[in-house]
Structure 1
Amino acid sequence: MPAKTDHDARRRDVSAAVWRVLAAQGFGGLTLRAVAAELGATTGLVTHYFPSKQALIVHALEVAETHTRALVPSLEGVHGLEALRQALAAVLPLTPEGTEINRVWVSSWDAALADPELRALEKARYKRWRSRLKPLVIEAQNDGDLPTGDPDDLVAALAAFTHGLVVQALFDPRTFPRQRLLAVLGSHLEGLRP
């Protein structure tokens, strides 16, 4: 009788291999064959868990979101503008892991723009991010630290600003090291004070 395979453990192994391929090669290099090679297995084993490249990419986005959530700090006991600053800073490529995660996300945009299913997943992900930022913006507005007005507009502007910093830092890390990213973010938030 053949040995039983721990499918959950195997799926975790495949997920870890997916992440390593993404981190090294981006979404452009994510193939069933590349994941199999990284895992030291056959493509048949990978297709057992992900029957198509589309299924693999959808899973890769889930893995990337899990890695991203792990970087978000607890904001317990942090209030207002400082909580917002910390939440936005968590998105920046401030550490090697944060840089790796951002490279994966940016590399996913091409695939997401070209595919309706992936585009819908990304749209939902951005909506979740903005919904997590909104109460922080409202709290800072109530404290008088941010201008009054539609908090959704301010959230959208802050998300766009932060992602602009991400892209610049990925392309030019010497010009945008950790200290400068944090300083630019802090200056931007201070500049918004009424």
Structure 2
Amino acid sequence: MPKIVDHDQYRKDLLSKCFDLFAQKGYGSITMRQIAQGLQVSTGTLYHYFPSKEALFEQLVEEISQQDISAALAEMDGAKTLAEAMTALGRYLVRHEDYCIKWTYIWVDYCQYQDVNDVRNNSVFKRVNRRYQQAVCDFLGIQDTVIATFVLSLINGLILEKLWCNETIDFPEQCDLLGKMLAAYLQQNRPNILATKHS
């Protein structure tokens, strides 16, 4: 009897292993042949699931965004106040610091080999960005993407600082400060939100 293969799960398994390959070699340096060797599959198998390195990277971004949001929200589950949520976010960043730095490195490396307009107009990246923004909005109980973008930009900036070996960056301390800033802003501009979302 032939072996039944769950192709979607197999594709996800391949993607999860690609993360480390991109982190080790960089997007620009690694070839599809090297990826196949690293995954211990034939190049034919790799091309069956991913028609190009670009397509592979796009699917990796999709997969990681879903995992990141689920993991971060699970970390903050049970937080009853904004302060508790920011404390949980700080813990999450500390626990996953190595992963966050590697993923940021992969992104920076990817972007240096692309035309900025191609990256900006990529439908996958736009969708993923909206997914991250919506997760922040849902958590805060708002529909203000400007605030969501600010939160995400600050977190990404902290991770970049860690990538650049800035030893003064303390994730819990910065997340605590972010929580205080958000609480003050929301209290002044949307006083009912904090009471309804985190009561």
TM-score calculated relative to the size of structure 1? 0.71
Classify 1:11/1:167 alpha carbon distance in 2 versus 1 (closer, same or farther; 3 Å): same
Indicate whether 1:119 and 2:151 are aligned.
no
2: CA distance, partners of 1:117 / 1:153: 18
Amino acid at match of 2:40: G
Paired positions, count: 180
Relative contact order (C-alpha < 8 Å, sep 6+): which is higher? 2
Query: What residue is the counterpart of 2:79 in the other structure?
Result: 78
Tell me how far 1:124 sits from its aligned partner. Answer: 1.9
1:186 aligns with 2:176: yes
- Which sections of structure 2, spanning at least 5 residues, go unmatched? 189-199
**What is the distance in 2 between the residues matched to 1:25 and 1:32?**
12
Tell whether the 8 Å contact from 2:86 to 2:178 is kept in structure 1 after alignment: no
Alpha-carbon distance between aligned partners in 2 of 1:191 and 1:6, rounded to the nearest angstrom: 50
Write the distance in 1 (CA, Å) between the matches of 2:130 and 2:84: 19
- How many angstroms does 1:7 deviate by? 5.5
Structure 2 counterpart of 1:164, one-letter code = G
Q: Go from structure 1 to structure 2 and tell me whether the alpha carbon gap of 1:115 and 1:121 turns closer, same or farther (over 3 Å shift).
A: same
What is the alpha-carbon root mean square deviation over aligned residues? 3.4
TM-score normalised per structure 2: 0.69
Q: In the TM superposition, what is the alpha-carbon distance from 1:68 to its structure 2 partner?
A: 2.1
**Which runs of 5 or more residues in structure 1 are unaligned?**
140-149
Q: How does 1:168-179 map to 2 (within 5 A)?
A: 168-176=161-169
- Equivalences for residues 1-194 of structure 1 within 5 A: 4=3, 6=5, 8=7, 10-74=10-74, 75-82=76-83, 84-85=85-86, 88-89=89-90, 92=93, 94-95=95-96, 96-110=98-112, 111=114, 113-115=116-118, 119-138=122-141, 151-176=144-169, 180-192=170-182, 193=184
Question: Kindly tell me: are residues 52 and 191 of structure 1, through their superposed partners in 2, closer, same or farther at Cα, counting changes over 3 Å?
Answer: closer
In 2: Cα distance, 1:72 partner to 1:99 partner: 16
Q: Is the 8 A contact 1:85 1:189 kept in 2?
A: yes
Bigger CA drift: 118-127 or 89-98?
89-98
**Cα separation, 2, equivalents of 1:157 and 1:20:** 29
Q: Classify 1:32/1:91 alpha carbon distance in 2 versus 1 (closer, same or farther; 3 Å).
A: farther
Q: Secondary structure at the match of 1:58?
A: helix
Residues 130, 69 of structure 1: CA spacing in aligned structure 2 closer, same or farther, 3 A cutoff? closer
